[in-house]
Amino acid sequence: MPQPTDTSLRELKKRAQLLKPTIRLGKAGVTPEFLAAFNETLDRIHLVKLRFEGMKDERKPLSKELAATTGSLLVQQVGHTAVYFRKPEYPAAE
């Protein structure tokens, strides 16, 4: 994903302030079911706040890994929450 400009990154952080955690990562960790739910949520609402309920010690490397795996942008990580953004994909015009 291309790097956002400072202005767009600031706007995403501002929008994320108002969000409640949309999805939670529990003790089971990053399972195929979690990844499917996370991807579906990104497809549906594009800006997602994730709360680390379990695996709190690994949250920094996990947050970067999740961004790479899902093709999303890690907007910010503060404490036990991380915010991700993925641009909506529009179908190609025929």
N-term to C-term CA, the chain: 24
Kindly state whether residue 21 falls inside one of the protein's structural domains: yes
- Grouping H, G, I as helix, E, B as strand and the rest as coil, residue 85 is strand
pLDDT, tens digit, for every residue of 21-52?
999 998 888 899 999 999 999 999 999 999 99
The amino acid sitting at 59 is: R
Residue 80 has pLDDT above 70, yes or no: yes
Query: In angstroms, rounded to a whole number, what is the distance separating the alpha carbons of residues 45 and 68?
Result: 18
Kindly state whether residue 1 falls inside one of the protein's structural domains: no
Kindly state whether residue 92 falls inside one of the protein's structural domains: no
Q: Which domain holds residue 37?
A: 6-85
pLDDT of residue 12: 92
Q: Is the pTM of this model over 0.75?
A: yes
- CATH number, position 78: 3.30.110.60
Kindly state whether residue 48 falls inside one of the protein's structural domains: yes
Confidence of residue 7 (pLDDT cuts 50, 70, 90): confident
Longest Cα separation, the chain: 48
Chain mean pLDDT for the chain? 88
Beta sheet of 73-78, edge-to-edge order: 23-25, 47-52, 81-85, 73-78
Kindly state whether residue 67 falls inside one of the protein's structural domains: yes
Q: How many domains does the chain have?
A: 1
